[in-house]
Structure formats: structure tokens, C-alpha cells
Structure 1
Amino acid sequence: MKLITPSHAIPVHIISGFLGAGKTTLLKHLLSQKPEGEVWAVLMNEFGQIGVDQQLLPQDQGYAVKELLGGCLCCSSQMPMQMALSRLLSETQPDRLFIEPTGLGHPAQLLEQLTEPHWQPHLNMRALVTVIDGSRLHDSDWSKQNLYADQLKAAQIVTVSHVDVMTDADKLALFALQKEYRPYQQIWLNLPIEELTLTDVDLAFTGTSRKIQPLLQIQRNLSSTEAMPEIKQLPYHYVETAQGYSVAGWKMPKRWVFDFYDLLDVLCEQKNWLRIKGIFNTNAGWKSFNFNPEQFNYQSAEESIDNRLEIIYQQSKEWLEFESQLMNCRVDDTK
């Protein structure tokens, strides 16, 4: 399908958030601020096969709403999303576009798709907004899920819904959450949704640069003339930079098993970091680690889809020695 778009790149807003956080409520409120004479478009994604949210949005002249049903446009095959978005842009020629992925989606993956060279002449990405339900922040089983954390980490702007019914426990949890994510220098909007304006969220997308590479031990064995292997599966190492901070990360297969006490020693011995977060399959069961300079927290965790570790830092660092120590903690038979 040939893509026909206006002569300029249109502003695009991604409104993400976990299930029931209030994404559609925020979207309806933003749509109500459309200037007369403009055409705004909405691409919504429902995980199931029956769309409901589309019926909740304005159907008046000046709005074009399209739903993509079944699966997740963030992480499933890109083709349905590419076709739906191309058709929406070609048919409606919108002045502004809003995208609401399913609450089960990973917005960072959607951002990766929409910032590819193919889309750059057509889409002017704005700050990614993640909505969190302030009334559920006291529930750690809810807020500590990997998907919840992935959505929050991807956010450039975080807006808190249901602030009028937050308990003292919710407020304390919000303070702790803001402190935890301070290295990402996000903008937190704690206003009621009905008081937010388009200006509050219409900020330029600053982006996060992620460089995915083979494990450092593999890189060390490559000659200077060899091309870096393309990474399509675990394990891999990545470096992510944003707002003056860097994250060194590792994702490894879930079948890898690590000695718990050896791993704990390696993590505790690190220096000059701002935060260490990880989840590992250990010989003592699945364990999560959440270190900050004031507190080293670790606890039993639910089974994860992989072993993963992230270290936030500001100073440049060579990670090969650390990775070697990390790999030496493995105790599985396939080592």
C-alpha cells in the first residue's frame, strides 16, 4: 500500500498504561480539545477480538477512529499495524494522531517501530505518556509486575489517574515510585485528568538510544575485521542512554540458573552505580534484586520470561570484567 501523507510530519502521541489505568479517559479528554477545522485520528489496539473502546470515543465530524483487534501492535507482527496506520493516514490526512496500545502492550517496542526511517518523514513523535492508577499504587503485586515496570520505564511523561481517591498508602507508594524512577528524569503530572491540557503532553519526543550487542565475552573474541553479529535472540547485552544517564543491561535465557549467594556477592561488590535491578533464576528459586545506594533489597519472585539485569550509572565503565563475574555465577548443566 502506497503511503500518502501531508507535506509535513504530523504530531503523534502514544497514550500507554496498564489495564484499567485510565488511558481512554485521558484520550477522550485530549480529543475534546481539538481546534475547530482540524482532523484528528486515533489508532486503538484491543488485545481481544471485540472492540469496545472505539464506541466510547467521539464519533463527530473531525475525528477518525480505527481499531486494531487481536494481539498487541507493540510486539506482534508489525505488518497489521503498518497497514492499519498507513490506511488511516492515507484516508483521513489527519492534523494529529493518537495511538492507544493495549494495556498488555510494551510501548517501547511500538516506539522502535514508529521511529524507523520509513516513518520519520511522516510522523513527528511526541513525548510518550504512561497513565498509572494512583488508587492501586499500594498494591505491590500490581505495581511490581514486569509489564507495569516496562510501561513506566518507557514513559517520558507519567500522569496519575484517580488522584482524588488515593489513600495515604497510595501517596507513600507514589513518592517511592517517583524516587525509584528519578534517574530517568520523567515528568510526573499528578493533576486530575480533567485538568490536563494538550500543552501538558505535547512535548517533543527525546528518545532513548539503545544499542543491542552480543555478550561482551563474545565481542572480545571477534577480530577487528569481523562484523558485529545481528542479535535476534537471547542472550544479549545492551547499553541504553537517555537524559545524561546510561543503563548497562543483560537479558539471558530463563533456563540459565545462577548460584544465589555468588550472584548476590557480585552485585553487592559493584561501585559507582545509581541503581541495580534484576530478576534471576537461581538455585534458591527466582529472585528479584532492587538496589539503591541506601538499601539493598532482594526477595523471592514469580517466574520470569528471562533472566535480566540493569545497572544505571553516569560514569563511563568497562563492563567485561563484571560480565565475566556474572557468567561465573552460572550453575546450570548447559554452562
Structure 2
Amino acid sequence: MKLVSPHGAIPVHIISGFLGAGKTTLLQHLLAQKPEGETWAVLMNEFGQIGVDQELLPQQGGYAVKELLGGCLCCSSQLPMQIALSRLLSEEKPDRLFIEPTGLGHPAQLLEQLTEPHWLPHLSMRALVTVVDGSRLHDADWTKQNLYADQLKVAQIVFISHVDMMTNADEHALDDLQKAYAPYLQLWLKPENGKIEFAEIDHVYAGSPRKIQPLLRIQKQQTQSTPIEIKQLPYHYVESAQGYSVAGWKLPKRWTFDFMELLDLLCEQKNWLRIKGIFHTNQGWKTFNFNPEQFNYLSSEEGIDNRVEVIYQGERDWQAFEDLLMQCRIDAEN
């Protein structure tokens, strides 16, 4: 489907946050600031099959709202999201787009999809906003959940909601939270009345565009000087955001890796901040989730491809890592 934008790339705002944080309330307030003569669009994602949030948004002219039901647009197949987004842009031709993923979603994966080269001519990503319920910061069972942390880490702006209901314990917990996330260089907004001016969240996304390229060993073999267009796996990509560098590889699902050799390779890496991956191995599908204090790996459901991401604070020559990764491959095509 051909995308049409009358003004070039459309500004896109992702409003994320855990269940009940107040995403829709914030979105209502932002939509109320729409200039006359502009059309704003909203793509909402409900985890269940009955959409409710759409009915809470303005129904008068100038707004186009579409819901994507049943699952998470962040981490399920990209196809439903791609179709819904393409139709919304083509049919409504909005001047600005808001995306509200489900509270059970992983916005980092959604951001990964929307910064793929396919979308770059059409979408101008703005600062990702994560809404945090200030009145629940004292609840360790709530704030220690992995999904809660994942949504905070990807945020460029953190919006504290329900400020009027915060206790002293919540205030102390907020101070601790801001100190813990200081390396992420985020903008924290804590409006006493729960409302903000639109300009406060309308910042350009701080990450650099993802550079998708052939595998490093394939690039080395190429003699042509013109860039190669990437249309299918395998490929690797690099990007930088908020002072960190990320290198990742996406490899065909049919490729199989020796589990013990792969585990050794990942465990032998040095000076990294985070390693995440999912691989088809000779011991079944495995997920790897490493941080400097814990090396976790588990059996998992079948993935859509093999993939791994390594986060560093600084740059690195990735050729040696890729060579060792390819040596772990054991399927017949290798």
C-alpha cells in the first residue's frame, strides 16, 4: 500500500506506560491542544478483543482513531501493525500521529519497527513518553516488574501521573527512581495538575537511525562501492541512543546453532552492558538475557528469526564477534 503524506515525514509520538498509569488521560489532554485545520491520528493497541479506550477520545472532526485489538503490536507479528498503520496514513493523511501501545507492551520493540528504513521517509519519530503512576511508586511488587523497567529504560520523557495522590513514600521512591535512571538522561515531568503543554513533549527522538547492512563478513567480500539494499535476512544493524551503542544481528529462522558454543561465546564477552538474544539451537529455541550481574537463559517458544543485541557504552569493532557467532552455526547449509 502506497503511503501518502502531504507534508513529508509525519511526527509520531509513542505514549507508553504500565497498566493503569494514565496514558489515555494524557493523550486526551494532548489531543485537546490540536491546532485548527490539522488532522491528528491515533493508533491504539488493546491486549484484549474489546476496545474501550477509543470511545474515550474525541469523536469530533480533526481526529482519526484506529484500534488494533487482540495482542501486542510491540512484540507480535509486525504485519497487523504495518497494515493498520499504512491504512491510517494513506486514508487519513494526518499531520501528526500518536501511538498508544497496550500497558503490557514493550515500546522498545515498537520503536525498533518504526525506525526500520522502510518507514524513515514517512515517519519522524518524536521523544518516546512513558507514563508512570506516581501513586504506586511505593509498591515494590509493582515497580520491580521487568516490563515496568523495560518501559522506563526506553523513555526519553517520563511523565509522572496522579501526583495529587502521591504519599511521602511515593516521593522518596521517585527520588530513588530518578537517581537510578540518571544515566539515561531523561526529561522527567511532574505537573501538579496532571496537565502539560504540548511543546513539553514535542522533542525529536534522540536515537540515531538504524543502519541496516549485510553481515560484516559479506561486506568484506563485496568489491562494489555502491551500498547494498537490504531486503531479507541475514543482516546486522548498529545504532546509538542516549550515550549507548547497540549492535544487533537478525538471521534466518532455519539457521541452527550449537547451544554450548553459543553460550560460551556470549559468556566470554567483556565490558558489555546488556546482551539479549533468541536462537534456534540443537537443544531447541533458547532465549538469553544477560546483565552484568545475571546470566539468564531459558527454553522458549519458536521465534520468527534468530537475533541478538549487544549494548555497549562506546564503540567496538564487531567483525571478530560476528566471525565467532557464525562459527556456532551447525545447520547443513553452513
TM-score, normalised to structure 2's length? 0.69
Distance 1:102 1:140, change over 3 A: closer
Query: Which of 283, 295, 311 matches 1:298?
Result: 295
Distance (whole Å) between structure 1 residues aligned to residue 195 and residue 53 of structure 2: 22
Distance (whole Å) between structure 1 residues aligned to residue 31 and residue 120 of structure 2: 27
Distance 1:276 1:85, change over 3 A: same
Q: 1:317 — aligned with what?
A: 316
The 8 Å contact of residues 26 and 195 in structure 2, kept in 1 or not, is answered as no
Equivalent residues in 2 for 1:39-58 (5 A)?
41-46=40-45, 50-58=50-58
Shift of 1:127: 1.6
Q: 2:249 — aligned with what?
A: 250
Tell me, what secondary structure is at the counterpart of 2:311?
strand
Matched, 1:82 2:81: no
For structure 2, list consecutive stretches of 5 or more residues without a partner in the other structure. none
Matched, 1:131 2:131: yes
Distance (whole Å) between structure 2 residues aligned to residue 264 and residue 193 of structure 1: 50
Shift of 1:53: 1.4
Shift of 1:308: 3.3
The 8 Å contact of residues 137 and 143 in structure 1, kept in 2 or not, is answered as no
Equivalent residues in 2 for 1:1-335 (5 A)?
3=4, 5=6, 12-17=12-17, 20-32=20-32, 34=33, 41-46=40-45, 50-59=50-59, 64-69=63-68, 75-76=78-79, 78-89=82-93, 97-102=97-102, 104=105, 106-108=109-111, 109-112=113-116, 116-117=120-121, 119=122, 125-131=125-131, 135=136, 138=141, 143-144=146-147, 149=150, 154-161=154-161, 179=180, 184-189=184-189, 194-224=194-224, 228=228, 230-233=230-233, 235-253=234-252, 256-260=256-260, 262-273=261-272, 275-281=273-279, 283=283, 286-292=286-292, 295=293, 297-301=294-298, 303=300, 305=303, 306-330=305-329, 335=334
Shift of 1:239: 0.8
Distance 1:26 1:113, change over 3 A: farther
Distance (whole Å) between structure 2 residues aligned to residue 238 and residue 2 of structure 1: 25
Letter in 2 for 1:110: L
The 8 Å contact of residues 184 and 242 in structure 1, kept in 2 or not, is answered as no
Letter in 2 for 1:201: I
Distance (whole Å) between structure 2 residues aligned to residue 4 and residue 173 of structure 1: 41
Shift of 1:210: 0.9
Instruction: Say how many residue pairs are matched.
Output: 314
For structure 1, list consecutive stretches of 5 or more residues without a partner in the other structure. none
Shift of 1:303: 1.2
Distance (whole Å) between structure 1 residues aligned to residue 174 and residue 325 of structure 2: 32
Distance (whole Å) between structure 2 residues aligned to residue 320 and residue 36 of structure 1: 50
Shift of 1:57: 1.7
Distance (whole Å) between structure 1 residues aligned to residue 229 and residue 110 of structure 2: 26
The 8 Å contact of residues 137 and 173 in structure 1, kept in 2 or not, is answered as no
Q: Which moved more, 1:244-253 or 1:317-326?
A: 244-253
The 8 Å contact of residues 215 and 236 in structure 2, kept in 1 or not, is answered as yes
After superposition, give the CA deviation of every residue in 1:279-321 in whole Å (9 maximum; x if it has no partner).
Answer: 34464973533233xx3x1124351625433222344322111
After superposition, give the CA deviation of every residue in 1:239-280 in whole Å (9 maximum; x if it has no partner).
Answer: 1123443211123456633434x445433443444x132234
Tell me, what secondary structure is at the counterpart of 2:141?
coil
The 8 Å contact of residues 11 and 125 in structure 1, kept in 2 or not, is answered as yes
Tell me, what secondary structure is at the counterpart of 2:194?
helix
Q: CA RMSD in A?
A: 4.6
Distance 1:244 1:12, change over 3 A: same
Distance (whole Å) between structure 2 residues aligned to residue 232 and residue 132 of structure 1: 38
Tell me, what secondary structure is at the counterpart of 2:204?
coil
Letter in 1 for 2:79: S
Tell me, what secondary structure is at the counterpart of 1:267?
helix
Identity in percent: 43
TM-score, normalised to structure 1's length? 0.69
Tell me, what secondary structure is at the counterpart of 1:289?
strand
